[in-house]
Each structure stands twice: as C-alpha cells, then as structure tokens.
C-alpha cells in the first residue's frame, strides 16, 4: 500500500500546473491573508483567504456542484470556530487545522489520480487490487477506512533537536467517526506488508513502514514541468520521499507521521498539562 507513493523510476514531462487546470483548479482566482507576529497567544498567526467562485455554464447559470472534476475536493465547510485539540502539544513548529469533507475528497480525487498516472481507470484498479488481490492486504479501503473519516484535518510539524537537514518531522491527523474500526483496518493492512514493523508504546500499536532502497515498484514522479528543455531519458530509481513513516490510531484520529518517534513523543506529551488546546 505504501511503496508506490515513495519510490520508483522518475517519469519526465508531466506538467502539474496543466494537470491541475484540466482538473478544475483554475477556479481559484486569488489567494490572500493576514500574518501577525507575536500575538498574545502565538508567535505567528496566519489567516488565509482563497477566492474561488462557483463555475458557471455558458448561459451564466451556476452548475449543481461548485467545481468540476477533482476540484470538487475543495469542500471546506464553515462551522463553529476551531480550537486546538486537547492532545496537541505546545512545542510545535507548525499547527494547521481545518474542516474538510474528506470522504467526498477521496472520491473526487479519482480523475486526478488517473490523469497523473496517464490512464483512465488506474484509481479504481488500485482500490480493486487492495481489496481483491490474493497477495495483497485484502482491505476494502472505501468501506473499511475512508468511510470512517470525519470532517476535520490537522497538520503538525516540528524539528527534532539538535537541528540538522533531517530534523523536520511532519504528521497528518484525520478525524475519525469510528476509531476502533479504523484501527482494525490498519492492523489488517499493515500485518501483510513486509515493510511494516509493529511497534508498541504501552498498549498503543504503532506501525512503522521502512521502505527498502531496492526492488521497489516503479511509481509516478512529478517534476512540476520545470525541467530542462528537450527530451530527457528516464532516470534510475529515486530515493523515497519519506524513507520511513508511521501510522496509528489515537485520540479519535488516524495519525500518519514521517517519523515513528514523532508519534511516540506526541503520545508521551498528552499526559502533560502544557497542551496547545
């Protein structure tokens, strides 16, 4: 489940800006915001605004959905003001949280995945393989995991001391409506992955994924369309974007981290009273 996202042979020639335009993201017409340095409660506070009005038909009437194709992923409903969760540690370099209809976003990503892969049906084939391949995890990703996504996403980041070029740690937290069911799905999927190692922190199961440098499945790599002029041959295997990663379910969230020790540090600090929430 994880190899195709991390390594493989680099494919040249994909213009990411054109792909996003094809997928309806040209609806974004402006981005702005405000930045405050050293408020009463924060060192830096940034509030952003994105102007993306609903698309209209040729006759000027609005369509049933605000956007088209993968751009329909942009569903960030307004709700009550968000406050930091009570399990968020204060010692962070980055904390971003927002409302997002992630179940819908997952479905709407299909055309984007297919275009990036260069063939229609790739998204559906991958899901079918994960579910039905006898040598795979045999997990129904849609019904056993994605169906339990809530509507709040959170991004955490810090730098492990002492600071080096490899100090940055990232974590993505997905709110869950059924944490126990999600944990069972993760356990089933990871238990069949030869690169996944089961770690324990107290009674907490953490799966660490260690990507092998060799024998990886070729995967799509995007250079953003800013490469040199002229045709270039495909390069040899590239190192994974995340050499290692980790996943667990804790505090009602699916936690996906670039480092297993980031998850452990977060779990350790929850008992401390000095939280961001």
Residue ranges per structural domain of the chain: 3-24+67-269
d(CA 45, CA 37): 6
pLDDT tens digits along 159-191: 988 888 889 999 999 999 999 999 999 999 999
pTM across the whole model: 0.80
Low-confidence ranges of the chain (pLDDT < 50): 3-10, 214-217, 219-220, 222, 224-226, 228-230, 236-238
- Residue 132 CB contacts under 8 Å (≥ 6 apart), including other chains: 138
Are 73 and 104 in contact by the 8 Å Cβ rule? The answer is yes
CA atoms within 13 A on the CB side of 179: 13
Residue 46: predicted pLDDT: 83
d(CA 211, CA 182): 23
Residue 243: predicted pLDDT: 61
d(CA 154, CA 265): 17
d(CA 35, CA 21): 28
């Amino acid at each position: 489940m994880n190899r195709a996202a991390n390594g493989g042979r680099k494919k040249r020639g994909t213009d990411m800006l054109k792909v996003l335009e094809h997928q309806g993201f040209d609806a974004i017409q402006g981005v702005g915001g405000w930045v405050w340095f050293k408020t009463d409660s924060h060192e830096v506070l940034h509030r952003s605004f994105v102007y993306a009005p609903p698309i209209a038909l040729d006759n000027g009437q609005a369509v049933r959905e605000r956007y088209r194709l993968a751009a329909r992923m942009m569903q960030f409903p307004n709700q009550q003001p968000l406050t930091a969760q009570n399990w968020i540690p204060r010692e962070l370099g980055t904390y971003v949280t927002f409302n997002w209809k992630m179940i819908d976003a997952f479905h709407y990503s299909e055309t984007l995945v297919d275009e990036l892969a260069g063939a229609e049906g790739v998204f559906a084939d991958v899901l079918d393989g994960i579910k039905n391949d006898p040598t795979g995890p045999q997990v129904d990703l849609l019904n056993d995991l994605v169906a339990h996504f809530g509507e709040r996403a959170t991004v955490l980041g810090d730098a492990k001391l002492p600071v080096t070029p490899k100090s940055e740690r990232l974590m993505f937290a997905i709110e869950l409506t059924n944490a126990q069911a999600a944990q069972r799905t993760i356990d089933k999927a990871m238990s069949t992955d030869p690169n996944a190692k089961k770690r324990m922190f107290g009674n907490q199961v953490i799966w660490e994924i260690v990507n092998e440098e060799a024998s990886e499945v070729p995967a799509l790599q995007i250079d953003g369309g800013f490469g040199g002029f002229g045709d270039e041959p495909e390069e040899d295997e590239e190192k994974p974007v995340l050499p290692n990663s980790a996943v667990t379910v804790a505090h009602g969230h699916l936690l996906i981290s670039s480092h297993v020790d980031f998850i452990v540090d977060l779990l350790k600090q929850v008992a401390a009273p000095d939280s961001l929430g």
